Amino acid sequence: MTDQVERERRFHNQRFSQQAHDRAALTGYYSINAHLEQAYNTKVLAHCAGADLLEIGCGTGEVALFWESLGARVTAIDISDEGIARAQQTAAERGGRVRFLRMDAADLGELPPASFDVVTGISILHHLELERAFRSLARVLRPSGRAFFIEPLGHNPVINLFRRLTPALRSADEHPLRLPELKAARHYFADVQSSHFHLLTLLAVPFRRTPWFSRLLGFLHRSDQALFRAVPWVRRWSWIVILELGSPRDLAG
């Protein structure tokens, strides 16, 4: 276990041992995620039924159990002992059959090669050593498989200022992804796609308790998507990206 992995394990053990969620202060920002979550779920659900699915960074297991309820055979991993213990308890209470394992998501050597049709993860890649993670993911994904991740980007100066002002909300090693890191995925996957979210939609956060929040959010979301299509370089200032990976390269050959 590397020093980075051990730091992440300790950080997330402490987080999952708490009764209250330590990111409650961010609820307002997460309130704008409806279109992001819909897009992500649609992508995964198109490949989910009857699939062997691996979730990395599963935390306490709720999302893994959701994928299982939709017909996937799910293996879910996390570096946190506390997270996996809570996930196993929740699965037992709900009668779930998800296989939960404590494992470093950047080193999937315990899993057989080409064993998964789908790999998913939410806010996990930016905690990992990316080169190791991409190589491991390419090894366990089947040739026709797809991997889907929701990840923060690290180019927007306003969001980066907020991150610097709230260091306790993050582990020491996590780093929002930058566009060169997304491009590096092409060394391991022949098919790399990204969908960007949240630039203008951030303006909706102060109005989340108003009766017209949904309409405002919908308008700003459509404006974001039009802007990203018309001026592609603006995508770097978005807050979040859905990263889709396919056609893993056989680097051993």
Nearest-angstrom CA–CA distance, 157 and 43: 29
Nearest-angstrom CA–CA distance, 13 and 58: 13
pLDDT of residue 2: 77
Domains of the chain, start order: 3-9+31-247 (3.40.50.150)
Token pair 């315990």 is found at 110
Query: 193-243: per-residue pLDDT in tens?
Result: 999 999 999 999 999 999 999 999 999 999 999 999 999 999 999 999 999
3-state secondary structure of 188: coil
* pTM (two decimals): 0.92
Which residues on adjacent β-strands are paired with residue 102?
78
Nearest-angstrom CA–CA distance, 209 and 53: 37
Q: What is the DSSP string of 76-133?
A: EEES-HHHHHHHHHHHHHHT---EEEE--TT--TTSPTT-EEEEEEES-GGGS-HHHH
Contact 134, 243 (CB under 8 A): no
Query: 97-145: per-residue pLDDT in tens?
Result: 999 999 999 899 899 999 999 999 999 999 998 999 999 999 999 999 9
